Each structure stands twice: as C-alpha cells, then as structure tokens.
Amino acid sequence: MLKGEQGANAKKYEASLQAKEAGCDSASGFFRESSQDEGRHARILQGLLDRYFS
C-alpha cells in the first residue's frame, strides 16, 4: 500500500513534467497537484506504520 502511494507520487510527478514539456499547462498542473496528494498519502501511511507497527 505504501509502495503504491509512493509509486503514484512519482508517476504523477513524471506525468506533470511530460505534460509541461508538451505545452499542456492545465494537465501539468492537475498531475502536479495530484502527485502532491499522493506524497501526502505516502507520508501519512509511513507515519501510521512507524507509530503502530515498528
């Protein structure tokens, strides 16, 4: 689950860069913001794992 969030973060960030290169600023912004959400999800999950399972 954590790897899924981390992977989504990386892939969506990558997609934002590709959209920017293609000149599609709205898609780039969408993917960038969405990648930031995935990064937050990953940090939340990591915090829960550290707190309750380590």
* Residue 43 touching Fe ion (CB under 5 A): no
Stretch that binds Fe ion, among 5-13, 14-22, 23-31, 45-53 (CB under 5 A): 5-13
What's the distance, CA 48 to chain centroid? 18
Mapping DSSP to helix (H, G, I), strand (E, B) and coil, where does residue 18 land?
A: helix
* Residue 41 touching Fe ion (CB under 5 A): yes
Question: Is 41:5 a contact under the CB 8 Å cutoff?
Answer: yes
Query: 20 or 41: whose CB is closer to Fe ion?
Result: 41
Note the residues at the interface with Fe ion (CB under 5 A): 5, 38, 41
